[in-house]
Amino acid sequence: MRALIAVLAGDGIGPEVTDEAVRALGAVARRFGHEFRFESALLGGAAIDATGVALPEDTLALCRRADGVLMGAVGGPRWSDPNAAVRPEQGLLQLRKALGLFANLRPVAPHPAVLGASPIKPELLAGVDILVVRELTGGIYFGDKRRSDTDAVDVCRYTVAEIERVVRLAAGLARARRRKLTSIDKANVLETSRLWRSVVDRIAAAEFPDLEVEHMLVDAAAMHLLRRPRDFDVIVTENMFGDILTDEASMLAGSLGMLPSASLGERARGGLYEPIHGSAPDIAGRGIANPYATILSAAMLLRHSLELPAEARALEEAVSSAIVRGTLTADLAPANVTPATTRAAGDAVLAALG
């Protein structure tokens, strides 16, 4: 197969981790006889520095043409003045919105070889396999915003159609897994959550009677995720709750550096794939960041946008065997083990791919 993959390295550790994911995709292409063409473009702080805007038109045009988009991370202290007119994060939010990527899939499955890296007791982690589906183009992230000297407002709005499409997608994914769907909201306080809950109930009854569907308040969910993580299968939730809960859930996997994500719209083609972690300015440029989340995001690109499931599995297995062989970056390595560099982790994946 021939495919065009847009690469948006972004800021901080973004370039280091996307380099390794591109190398891994190149190795997959060689092994399976595909032709992947990579084209890079600017996003986030790097784009602001070069062009004055966080999402340049060229970047968006490339992403629209591409079969899949691989992204690193955006943001950093250089651009985080609260009074700045443009912010790196706006570029990513505009990109998600412009591409219609309403569903963000964030799988959380702790690797058995690194349970010790998690702050959670290992006996709670064995067998954890969660898929969080985060609504990505609505809610408080995209509602009207304004600020004066004495107050500020962020509007949280959801339409029925926005809730329906992400709930349908999540329920469909649950059907192919363990058939349990947990919808997380704050229906005891928020009107948007009460609408969310009623849409979930209606769709579940009419279209997914075979699923076990439960509702959970977000504060309780934050607790249950750590207390009994094995009980979750597919979680569906609104934009900001999903953002927060997945950083929390990453601790089940031992590190933020382990969680990939896929952002999908109505069509398989043209999804956006990025690690859930940020730009980690504190370690940027030192070659020590964990590239596995980005490489696993590249595997999701193979599966969801290029529809190459065997290739996706091969890449995931290569990451797994790199981990099993003990190639662990600083975020994963036990105290008595010398941490691997970003490049060494990428090399281990390439070696495992053969």
Is 158 annotated in the active site?
no
Q: Which is nearer to ligand IPM, 264 or 340 (CB)?
A: 264
Q: Which does 204 bind (CB under 5 to 8 A by kind): Mg ion, ligand IPM, none?
A: none
Sign of CA dihedral 213, 215, 218, 221: negative
Residues paired with 146 in a beta bridge: 153
92 is a contact residue toward ligand IPM (CB under 6 A): yes
- The pair phi, psi for residue 35, each rounded to 5°, is -120, 100
Q: State the nearest-atom distance from the C-beta of 316 to ligand IPM, in Å.
A: 21
Please classify residue 251 by burial: count the beta carbons closer than 10 Å to its beta carbon, then call 0-12 exposed, 13-18 middle and 19+ buried.
Answer: buried
Is 97 annotated in the active site?
no
Q: State the nearest-atom distance from the C-beta of 114 to ligand IPM, in Å.
A: 21
Catalytic residue among 129, 154, 201, 243: 243
Residue 18 has what DSSP assignment?
H
Distance of alpha carbon 170 from alpha carbon 296, whole angstroms: 20
Amino acid at 184: I
Is 121 annotated in the active site?
no
Distance of alpha carbon 341 from alpha carbon 318, whole angstroms: 17
Q: State the nearest-atom distance from the C-beta of 87 to ligand IPM, in Å.
A: 9
Q: Which is nearer to ligand IPM, 249 or 348 (CB)?
A: 249
276 is a contact residue toward ligand IPM (CB under 6 A): yes
Residue 307 has what DSSP assignment?
-
Is 180 annotated in the active site?
no
265 is a contact residue toward ligand IPM (CB under 6 A): no
Q: Which is nearer to ligand IPM, 214 or 247 (CB)?
A: 247
Quickly tell me which residue has 């690469």 as its tokens.
Answer: 7
Ramachandran area for residue 100 (φ above 0: left; ψ -120 to 50: alpha; else beta) = left
Is 145 annotated in the active site?
no
Catalytic residue among 158, 186, 233, 273: 186
154 is a contact residue toward ligand IPM (CB under 6 A): no
Using CB under 6 A as the criterion, which residues of the chain lie in contact with ligand IPM when the complex forms?
A: 74-75, 89, 92-93, 243, 276, 278
